[in-house]
Structure 1
Amino acid sequence: MALGKPRQKTRREQAAASRRKVLRAARDAFLESGYHAATMAQVAERAGLAVQTVSYYFGTKPKLMSELITATMRRAMGEVAPVDRESWTRSETTATDGGTLVDAFLTEVHPVLMSVSPLMDVARIGGLTDPEVRDVYVFHENWRKRDFAKLVDAINRVGSLREGLDVRTARDVVLTMLSPDMYRVLSVDRAWDSEQIELWMRHSLKQLLLRKP
């Protein structure tokens, strides 16, 4: 029996496929060339599409960068933010010591940090001279500040915060230790693998944030 013709993709499916191609091409272009050197034309060429198509789907290069970071985060998170996942929220409400909270938080956050950090570093550098890109970076950094503060708040609630360390400073410590800048230094400059980085982050946060047993 002859096989039927394969089903034609709908316009929506074709558009979604094209958007995915552009995002993959944009990631490669931004990471290889940096924000300013990468052009929409280069992204379009890598994606095998017309530059007008890329502009139609994403508008400007800053908007493309923002959507790329968001899409990368969603893919790493599985559509659910680390601080909204059941494993973290359960630990947040039931843990009685700071070490358990640090471990639970890193388990959820590290995969996202590993995926997004290279792009955030590109956006940070691009934002030094481009206000629109700076806005992209600040938007995503504000998300990180809001969610990462939950680790410190949970540690403080169980009474495990190190003596003499106030909540504001503790939040700054977490944001610094779990930052795209720190991840770049360790993964690129020091050539650490992801397992080394995660173990170091767990150990360092416990040493810096938690009171001695």
Structure 2
Amino acid sequence: MKPKRRYVSDVRRENAEATRLRIAEAARVLMLERGYAATTMAEVAKAAGVVVQTLYTALPGGKPGLAKLVWDVTLAGDAKAIPQSGRPQVQAIIAEPDPERKLAVFARMALAIYDRVAPVHRVLRAAAAADAGLADLLADTEHQRLKGSRGPAEHLAAVGALRADLSVERAADHIYALTSIELLERLVEVCGWNVRDCEDWLARTLSQTLLETGHTQMPQEAENSR
């Protein structure tokens, strides 16, 4: 009977993930079209094909909880309960033996995430001044992003690539700052850079900031090695 129970559990989990994904996608579309304040739980439930009570049951915290779901799903790209460290993009970074190429892959992942989350972040940021729960959510996402920046810093230290005069904590601060949504947003929207421009700049700047001199190449050398 164990395989049958496991099958039922897997089906339930997949159904729950599918429902969360539908809710998140419906809410994201409505929030981007109308703004956070003008999007109601009833409208999201209708668009997702669920009853309103399902939203309140699945998302503790009401509307800020809905915003958190939209953020989490947009950040990950799906509704699967897989930690960031277990996702293929992160595994590819870990598997890459060359520190500079590690950071190039990391920059590519960071810009792909930025491309997904920037519109959502803009909407939530605009509404946070009038909604304390939403402001708390955005503050928490920043703390989580700083915490998450420690992972790549620790990995570079573990493989002996991190500058000797740079602590893991300070390296994480650099990664957090350089991958800021607001920073990348200004490069794209104010400076007129495209995503590839940002990716190349981020990879080069991370390498020059974090790696021992022997692990880095001059910008032209890095470009020629592509």
Q: Same fold (TM over 0.5)?
A: yes
Report the equivalent of 1:212.
213
CA distance in 1, matches of 2:79, 2:177: 21
CA distance in 2, matches of 1:64, 1:34: 13
Which residue of 71, 79, 89 corresponds with 1:69?
A: 71
CA distance in 1, matches of 2:110, 2:148: 10
CA distance in 2, matches of 1:77, 1:39: 21
User: For the Cα contact (< 8 Å) 2:157–2:168, is it kept in 1?
Assistant: yes
CA distance in 2, matches of 1:178, 1:124: 17
Shift of 1:67: 0.8
Aligned length: 200
Report the equivalent of 1:87.
92
Shift of 1:30: 2.6
Report the equivalent of 1:5.
none
User: For the Cα contact (< 8 Å) 1:76–1:111, is it kept in 2?
Assistant: no
The 5 A counterparts of 1:182-193 are 182-193=183-194
Indicate how the Cα distance of structure 1 residues 141 and 179 shifts in structure 2: closer, same or farther if over 3 A, else same. Answer: same
User: For the Cα contact (< 8 Å) 1:118–1:184, is it kept in 2?
Assistant: no
* TM-score normalised by length of structure 2: 0.66
- Corresponding letter in the other structure for 1:90: A
- Corresponding letter in the other structure for 2:94: T
CA distance in 2, matches of 1:141, 1:149: 13
- Aligned-CA RMSD value: 3.7
Identity of matched residues, %: 27
Listed as ranges, the gaps of 5+ residues in structure 1 are 1-11
User: For the Cα contact (< 8 Å) 2:127–2:134, is it kept in 1?
Assistant: yes
CA distance in 2, matches of 1:49, 1:78: 19
Deviations 1:48-87 (A, max 9, x none): 8887776676562211101111222332597644432432
Report the equivalent of 2:100.
99
User: For the Cα contact (< 8 Å) 2:21–2:79, is it kept in 1?
Assistant: no
Report the equivalent of 1:174.
175
Deviations 1:79-104 (A, max 9, x none): 6444324323334xxx3x53133123
User: For the Cα contact (< 8 Å) 1:123–1:136, is it kept in 2?
Assistant: no
Indicate how the Cα distance of structure 1 residues 198 and 121 shifts in structure 2: closer, same or farther if over 3 A, else same. Answer: same
Listed as ranges, the gaps of 5+ residues in structure 2 are 1-12, 215-226
Indicate how the Cα distance of structure 1 residues 58 and 79 shifts in structure 2: closer, same or farther if over 3 A, else same. Answer: closer
* TM-score normalised by length of structure 1: 0.69
Task: Tell me the SS of whatever aligns to 2:106.
Answer: helix
Report the equivalent of 2:151.
150
Indicate how the Cα distance of structure 1 residues 38 and 78 shifts in structure 2: closer, same or farther if over 3 A, else same. Answer: closer
